[in-house]
Amino acid sequence: MKNIDSYSHTRGESVYLDDIPLLAGTLFAACFDAPVAHGILVSIDASAAKQSDGVIAVLTYKDVTGQNQIGGIIPDEPLFAHNEVHFCGMPIALVLAETAQQAAAAVKKITAVIEPLPVITNAREAAAKGQLIIPPRTFKIGNTTTAWPTCAHVFEGTCDTNGQEHLYIETQGAYAIPQEQGVIKVYSSTQGPTAVQRAVCKVTGLPMHQVEVDVTRLGGGFGGKEDQANTWAALCALAAHITRRPVKYSLHRMEDMRMTGKRHPYSSDYKIGLDSNLKLLAFEITTYQNAGAAADLSPAVLERTLFHCTNSYYIPNVTATAFSCKTNLPPNTAFRGFGGPQGMFIIEAAIAHAAEKIGVDASVIQQNNLLKTGDELPYGQKVVSEAKECWSRADELYQLATIKNEIADFNLANQLVKKGMAVMPICFGISFTNTLMNQARSLVHVYTDGTVVISTGAVEMGQGVNTKIVQVAAHVFAIDAAAIRVNSTNTYRIANTSPSAASATADLNGKATLLACTEIADRLKAFAAAELQVPVDSISFCNGQVCIDGHPSALDWIKLVQLAYAKRVNLSQHAHYATPDIHFDKTIEKGHPFAYHVFGTAIITVTVDCLRGTYEFDSVKLVHDFGSSMNRLIDRGQIEGGLVQGIGWMTMEEIVYDENGKLKSNALSTYKVPDIYAAPKQISIDFLNTQQDNLAIFKSKAVGEPPLMYGIGAFFAIRNAIKNFNPAAQPPLEAPVTPEKVLLWLYADKIKTMVDKIKTQHLPVFK
């Protein structure tokens, strides 16, 4: 089934936040944000701004009617800077004006006196100074201390991954509209309508039933609008609450980039031990997460780094410790994979290191240690694994040995360009690791003309969740999908929603919808059985008809609904779903946090231009564990999109802050995401169809986040190509590998000679 939004999307008729028709009297907001990363906020002078054309008000922390606080997990994040500023881009004042241009012009007239304080941008430095968001956490299985002496090979090293800008093409924004009796309605571009509702309530002081949050769809989220949409919604709602006028704020791209957090950079130490048969025996890591200036979702992201730091491998002895470090960067946040990719990079880096030293291909170690069903993960869950199945199928289908030979032949024949290859297996746990969030509700109405409207807590952001929800209802009622609509996500229709995140949205909201539809269907079947005077278990719905023992009766769906309504049968249902069997005890860091795991294996091949340092991805060939895909078109799109986003993170996407904590990669001209030429030339996807029972909706496994991690293979493929050109090269395990790094790593010795020479010659301007 095609994406239900494809009609309006391709015609430009889909409505996003900035497309909502404006009410008369709407004010436009713009932020004056901190120009420095850390300092004492001595004073704010907004007098000139207040006199500026069209300006109605300028708000600061003094104007907050509730609490000046938007922290989600930990209340450590003021909405407006009060005594101190903690990062460049922190909101200090909000201008409200008659037009967006007037608001932007007035912002430029605001000044603040800020006494500078020392700026920390580096996670390890923060940890050394005791600047932690939460106490460190350690996951442990077996005993690494006693395991090291039994290892034939032990290697230690460090590795780093940088952040990643979400770059949803629709920037953040909100539109708050005062209603009668003090209610505020907030349109928000958020993945978490309830998170927005809570933040708005805290800041305005309104109770939750006075705040309605509505989300039609997002122009991309990727985690960036999970908690970080709260700021703009809270600012607009506060302003609407105070002025009693509608207030809109749709961020300019550069505001968005400098004021919002990104994927967390991590810096890690690892120690890996193998026996003489290349079985992994022991693994230790200490990893430092750069959380930015406030907790945001960092503690939860940190947890998932620990959950996934052994990726697809069974390792009997693991000690993994993670520090969430407080720095003066914008609070980093959720991003597709949610700390998992950063954790997986560490084990892949350690394996690459070990393979190089031992003199084998990394794929030999990878394949030798894949999880099998029943293996215990460091957090205590016994896995139901498809890791070996995915690997074997990939090998069989794509012929790993042949690929390696072809690369070797190519490299022999070519002097200036070299190919490299890497295999990337993945294992990703599905569920919010915070067990309580694994619940969802769905509200289904059947109207008397037979059409259906569904409301859930799911937010459509391109992942196709609404299409899958329509499929669920169409399946249960056996009616045409065109007769089913999914409503906007609204906190008045569906309360206490979990954010659309953790890849679990379709599972949770799909299952709740399945329950609601099934309840209605059961009532209608009972009614039909009575009407037709047949046993209820002989009734089914097929192709818009009521069937008896599989044969169409005189009753069709519409007639049935009308008759049932006339007999006062309830045609609406609200249902609640909570994932069964999951639990996790943080005091011992053990439990069964995931409903299931998703597996896959990707083979990535790259060609590096060793003259210019540039690269192109020839192909990514993968086998992915979809369970039993309920929508191949949408699921394929998630794999392709996630993969390319992962490749971007590992290659060209380079976030640059200067030493003062100012973002230098602050626009699309300086932060590059993959374009159409940068996508791999070929992406082959094989659907590993498994019929094993799982907790996924229609056994169709969650597909949002896992494919991003295939992109990690891009780093190692390039690294291998570098070594194929220069076997003596020692490329550090630092992602991303930009064309600059490729050149610097290819020619490290030559460049050192050049630098020495330049120094002695005192050539102009050299730093």
Partner 1 sequence: MIRFILNDKEITTSLPAGTALLDFIRYHKNLNGTKIGCREGDCGACTILAGEMVGDKLVYKSATSCLMALGNAHGKHIVTIEGVNIQQLNFIQEAFAIEGATQCGFCTPGFIMSLVGFCVKHSTQDGLTALDAVSGNICRCTGYKSIERAVAMVADKMAHCGEEDAIGYAVANNILPAYFATIQPILLNYQLQQRSSVPVNTGAQKFLGGGTDLFVQQHDAMHDADISLLFDKTHLNGIHQSGTACWMGASVTVTDMLESSVFRKHFPNLVQYLRLVSSTPIRNMATIAGNFVNASPIGDLTVFFLALDAQLVLSDGISTRELPLRQFYKGYKTLDKLPGEHIEKIWFELPAAGALFNFEKVCKRTHLDIASVNTAISIQHNNDVIQQAGLSAGGVGPVPLFLRQTSLFLQGKKVTEAMVEQAIEIAQSEISPISDVRGTAVYKRFLLSQLLRAHFISLFTALDAGKLVKV
Q: Which of residues 162-201 bind partner 1 (CB under 8 A)?
A: 166-171
Indicate the SS3 state at residue 430: strand
Which residue's CB is nearer to partner 1, number 173 or number 299? 173
Q: Determine if residue 199 is left, alpha or beta; phi over 0 gives left, psi from -120 to 50 gives alpha, anything else beta.
A: alpha
Query: Would you give the binding string for partner 1 spanning residues 214-243, x where CB under 8 A is met?
Result: ---xxxxxx---------------------
Write out the binding residues for partner 1, residues 561-620 only, by CB under 8 A. 610-614, 616
Examine residue 712 and tell whether it contacts partner 1 (CB under 8 A). no
Q: Shortest distance, CB of residue 140 to partner 1, whole angstroms?
A: 37
Q: Can you give the C-alpha Rg of the chain in angstroms?
A: 28
Q: Shortest distance, CB of residue 16 to partner 1, whole angstroms?
A: 6
The 3-class SS string of 457-517 reads CCCCCCCCHHHHHHHHHHHHHCCCHHHEEECCEECCCCCCCCCCCCCCHHHHHHHHHHHHH
Which residue's CB is nearer to partner 1, number 567 or number 752? 752
Q: Which stretch binds partner 1 (CB under 8 A): 13-21, 55-63, 277-285, 321-329?
A: 13-21
Write out the binding residues for partner 1, residues 370-399 only, by CB under 8 A. none
- CA dist 360 and 479 (Å) reads 57
Burial class (CB in 10 A: 0-12, 13-18, 19+), 368: middle
Residue 486: φ, ψ to 5°: -105, 125
Pick the binder of partner 1 from 246, 462, 593, 731 (CB under 8 A): 462
Residue 463: φ, ψ to 5°: -75, -10
Pick the binder of partner 1 from 135, 550, 580, 764 (CB under 8 A): 764
Examine residue 98 and tell whether it contacts partner 1 (CB under 8 A). no
Q: Shortest distance, CB of residue 260 to partner 1, whole angstroms?
A: 15
Indicate the SS3 state at residue 563: helix
Instruction: Tell me which DSSP letter residue 630 carries.
Output: S
Examine residue 726 and tell whether it contacts partner 1 (CB under 8 A). yes
Write out the binding residues for partner 1, residues 629-668 only, by CB under 8 A. 633-634, 636-637, 640-645, 652, 654, 656, 664-665, 667-668
Pick the binder of partner 1 from 253, 357, 372, 567 (CB under 8 A): 253
- CA dist 622 and 614 (Å) reads 24
- CA dist 517 and 521 (Å) reads 6
b/e code 268-284 from CB counts within 10 Å (16+ = b): bbbbbbbeeebbbbbbb
Examine residue 130 and tell whether it contacts partner 1 (CB under 8 A). no
Pick the binder of partner 1 from 48, 104, 481, 495 (CB under 8 A): 104
Q: Shortest distance, CB of residue 471 to partner 1, whole angstroms?
A: 14
Integer CA distances (angstroms), 397 to 311, 394, 598, in order:
23, 5, 20
Write out the binding residues for partner 1, residues 51-90 only, by CB under 8 A. none
Q: Shortest distance, CB of residue 641 to partner 1, whole angstroms?
A: 4
Q: Shortest distance, CB of residue 177 to partner 1, whole angstroms?
A: 18
CB 478, CB 541: distance < 8 Å: yes
Examine residue 766 and tell whether it contacts partner 1 (CB under 8 A). yes
Q: Shortest distance, CB of residue 191 to partner 1, whole angstroms?
A: 12
Residue with tokens 């190089």: 356
Q: Which stretch binds partner 1 (CB under 8 A): 322-330, 469-477, 559-567, 732-740?
A: 732-740
- CA dist 112 and 599 (Å) reads 52
Q: Shortest distance, CB of residue 693 to partner 1, whole angstroms?
A: 28
Which residue in 172, 183, 200, 198 sits closest to 258, CA to CA? 172
Which residue in 263, 265, 262, 268 sits closest to 733, CA to CA? 268
Which residue's CB is nearer to partner 1, number 313 or number 335? 335
Examine residue 3 and tell whether it contacts partner 1 (CB under 8 A). yes
Q: Shortest distance, CB of residue 628 to partner 1, whole angstroms?
A: 19
Is the peptide bond prior to 736 cis by the omega test (within 30 degrees of 0)? yes
What does the DSSP assignment read for 377-423? PTTSPBP---HHHHHHHHHHHH-HHHHHHHHHHHHHH-SSEEEEEEE
Neighbours of 82 (CB within 10 A): 14
Q: Shortest distance, CB of residue 391 to partner 1, whole angstroms?
A: 23
Pick the binder of partner 1 from 101, 150, 570, 572 (CB under 8 A): 101
Q: Shortest distance, CB of residue 111 to partner 1, whole angstroms?
A: 18
Examine residue 734 and tell whether it contacts partner 1 (CB under 8 A). no
Q: Which stretch binds partner 1 (CB under 8 A): 153-161, 457-465, 512-520, 537-545?
A: 457-465
Q: Which of 406, 654, 705, 740 is catalytic?
A: 705
Which residue's CB is nearer to partner 1, number 181 or number 677? 677
CB 604, CB 618: distance < 8 Å: no
Both tokens assigned to 240? 């609407």
Angle at 453 (CA atoms; ends 8, 579), nearest 5 degrees: 105
Examine residue 416 and tell whether it contacts partner 1 (CB under 8 A). yes
- Site size for partner 1, by CB under 8 A? 98
Long-range pairs of 22-25 with CB within 8 A, sequence gap ≥ 24: 22/246, 22/248, 23/177, 23/246, 25/245, 25/246
Q: Shortest distance, CB of residue 105 to partner 1, whole angstroms?
A: 7
Which residue's CB is nearer to partner 1, number 425 or number 680? 680
Pick the binder of partner 1 from 670, 689, 692, 730 (CB under 8 A): 670
Integer CA distances (angstroms), 381 to 312, 375, 378, 585, 592, in order:
13, 8, 8, 12, 5
Pick the binder of partner 1 from 18, 84, 361, 375 (CB under 8 A): 18
Both tokens assigned to 438? 């694994």
Pick the binder of partner 1 from 450, 674, 704, 731 (CB under 8 A): 674
Write out the binding residues for partner 1, residues 274-333 only, by CB under 8 A. none
Q: Shortest distance, CB of residue 714 to partner 1, whole angstroms?
A: 13
Contacts of 580 (CB under 8 A, 6+ apart): 695
Both tokens assigned to 337? 């994979």
Pick the binder of partner 1 from 201, 278, 430, 461 (CB under 8 A): 461
Which residue's CB is nearer to partner 1, number 24 or number 676? 676
Q: Which stretch binds partner 1 (CB under 8 A): 45-53, 289-297, 381-389, 746-754?
A: 746-754
Write out the binding residues for partner 1, residues 198-217 only, by CB under 8 A. 217
Which residue's CB is nearer to partner 1, number 54 or number 66? 54
Contacts of 471 (CB under 8 A, 6+ apart): 1, 481, 630, 631
Q: Determine if residue 533 is left, alpha or beta; phi over 0 gives left, psi from -120 to 50 gives alpha, anything else beta.
A: left
Q: Across the strands, what pairs with 439?
A: 578
Examine residue 675 and tell whether it contacts partner 1 (CB under 8 A). yes
Sheet strand arrangement including 417-430: 417-430, 596-609, 614-627, 682-689
Which residue's CB is nearer to partner 1, number 168 or number 557? 168
Contacts of 205 (CB under 8 A, 6+ apart): 65, 66, 67
Examine residue 415 and tell whether it contacts partner 1 (CB under 8 A). yes
Examine residue 463 and tell whether it contacts partner 1 (CB under 8 A). yes
Sheet strand arrangement including 266-274: 137-141, 317-326, 280-292, 266-274, 153-161, 734-735
Examine residue 409 and tell whether it contacts partner 1 (CB under 8 A). no
Examine residue 747 and tell whether it contacts partner 1 (CB under 8 A). yes
Examine residue 42 and tell whether it contacts partner 1 (CB under 8 A). no
Examine residue 478 and tell whether it contacts partner 1 (CB under 8 A). no
Which residue's CB is nearer to partner 1, number 542 or number 754? 754
Write out the binding residues for partner 1, residues 514-553 only, by CB under 8 A. none
Q: Is 303 noted as a catalytic residue in this protein?
A: no
Which residue's CB is nearer to partner 1, number 531 or number 618? 618
CB 442, CB 575: distance < 8 Å: yes
Catalytic residues: 705
